[in-house]
Amino acid sequence: MGYRHDQLRVAVIFGPGGACRPVWFDWRHRKYTVSSIAHSWQERHGAATVIHFAVTDGTNLFELAYDTTAQTWALIGAETA
Q: How many percent of the chain have pLDDT more than 70?
A: 95
Quote the domain boundaries for residue 12.
7-79
pLDDT digits (tens, 9 = 90+) for 25-52: 999 899 999 999 999 999 998 999 999 9
In a domain? residue 25? yes
How confident is the model at residue 41, as a pLDDT?
A: 97
The pLDDT of residue 4 is above 80: no
In a domain? residue 31? yes
The pLDDT of residue 3 is above 70: no
Task: Report, as an integer, the average pLDDT of 47-60.
Answer: 95
In a domain? residue 1? no
In a domain? residue 37? yes
Type of residue numbered 53: F
In a domain? residue 65? yes
Residue-by-residue DSSP string for the chain:
--S--EEEEEEEEE-GGG-EEEEEEEETTEEEE--EEEEEEEEEETTEEEEEEEEE-SS-EEEEEEETTTTEEEEEEEE--
Domain count, the chain: 1
In a domain? residue 2? no
The pLDDT of residue 56 is above 50: yes
